[in-house]
Amino acid sequence: MRVIVKIGTSSLTSESGEVNVAALSKLVAEVVMARAQGHELVVVTSGAITAGVQRLGVNRPEEPEVLQAISAVGQIDLMRAYGDEFDSHGVATGQVLLAPHDFRDRNQYLHAETTFKHLLRLNVVPVVNENDAVADDAIRYGDNDRIAALVANLLRADLLVLLTDTAGVLTADPRIEPNATLIEEIAAIDESIQQVAGIAGSRGSGGMASKLAAARMASWSGVRTVIAAADRDNVLSDAIAGIAGTGTAVPARETHVAARKLWIGFAVSANGRITVDDGATKALSQGGGSLLTAGITEVQGTFSVGDAVEISNLSGEVFAKGLIALDSETAQRWKGSRTEDLVPGTSPVAIHRDDLVLLDDPT
């Protein structure tokens, strides 16, 4: 099997911010064991920012630009720790820094795919982190959970394992409800499940909500996901073996989705919202068409050409997301306009179907 295993900040660093060597050693030992059984492994890691904060002896700042700079410092310590642990097992590692944009641009996507394949052929374990130091929207993507899902799509993986500091998705917040129990399998990630997921943790930008989003992405890519506790004995081998109760399993869908569609749906922030009428809602949801200016009833937010916007129906339910071909001022001016109402030669397409993702069914 080809397995992507991601470990979060809360599982990899101590409360003081230092790399938790025991946790890292356990992960590396399990990766090495899985490789010995014939599986291909890619590690996606968090922890650079937290390690950087510790190295510099500062409090974690709020400003994204400062966090990006700090991540550049912490990344060195983090990769040194990985290198030392894998070296102790005689295994070579290679650092791969990615940003969500790499999955939008076709050339970047193919280049990344080629790099990974060469590393695996060379018997190297790729260790992936988001390129926090330069990514436009770094620090906001859910602590590498979505990067892990995008890598799973890129490499057509068989399994995505998201290691965290809880046993998986629980029926309630255990801090509030001590009797909360593990949900062993989630067939569909709906609103009720997302409500159970709660909010992000204190030492990372992720949390269970982002892990469910990543699991949903992976499912749409045809990849099974297991969300499990990093400190569980043999967690990786049990997840690979499909042992029930290892964590929360999210099965793969039969229909696969292209990486660019996943990028639009999950890896880029929306800068506005477009409300459409019932006719446009039906055309987009059932007919696979493009969004035309005639179907737009309301424009919210300030955005530029090529920005991502949410698409909601008249009831206010967001059912799609896309890259818009108009800026917000033009969209506001042209909303409700049919082709004959526009300047001759002007395209009435606000969002082309190739740039649009249905959030309930991305195909």
Q: What CATH number is given for 2-261 in this structure?
A: 3.40.1160.10
Judged by DSSP in three states, 135 sits in coil
Residue intervals of the chain classified under CATH 3.40.1160.10 are 2-261
Rounded distance between C-alpha atoms, residue 27 and residue 112, angstroms: 24
pLDDT in tens, 297-329: 999 999 999 999 999 999 999 999 999 999 999
C-beta of residue 224 within 8 angstroms of C-beta of residue 249: yes
Residue intervals of the chain classified under CATH 2.30.130.10 are 270-358
C-beta of residue 204 within 8 angstroms of C-beta of residue 143: yes
Closest CA to 206 of 49, 337, 344: 49
Q: What does each C-alpha distance from 79 to 24, 45, 193, 242, 353 come to in angstroms?
A: 11, 10, 35, 30, 41
- DSSP assignment of 63-116 equals -HHHHHHHHHHHHHHHHHHHHHHHHTTT--EEEEEE-GGGGTSHHHHHHHHHHH
C-beta of residue 357 within 8 angstroms of C-beta of residue 285: no
pLDDT tens string, the chain, 363 residues long: the values are: 999 999 988 888 777 667 888 999 999 999 999 999 999 999 999 888 888 888 898 888 878 788 888 888 989 989 999 999 999 999 999 999 987 777 777 788 889 999 999 999 999 999 998 876 655 554 444 468 888 998 998 999 999 999 998 899 888 777 788 888 999 999 877 666 666 665 434 444 457 888 888 898 899 889 999 999 999 999 999 999 999 999 999 999 877 777 778 778 876 778 999 999 999 999 998 867 899 999 999 999 999 999 999 999 999 999 999 999 999 999 999 999 999 999 888 999 999 999 999 886 554
Rounded distance between C-alpha atoms, residue 155 and residue 158, angstroms: 9
Rounded distance between C-alpha atoms, residue 152 and residue 5, angstroms: 9
Rounded distance between C-alpha atoms, residue 139 and residue 302, angstroms: 22
Fold entry, domain 270-358: 2.30.130
pLDDT in tens, 89-124: 999 999 999 877 777 777 888 899 999 999 999 999
> CB under 8 Å to 121, separation ≥6 — which residues?
none
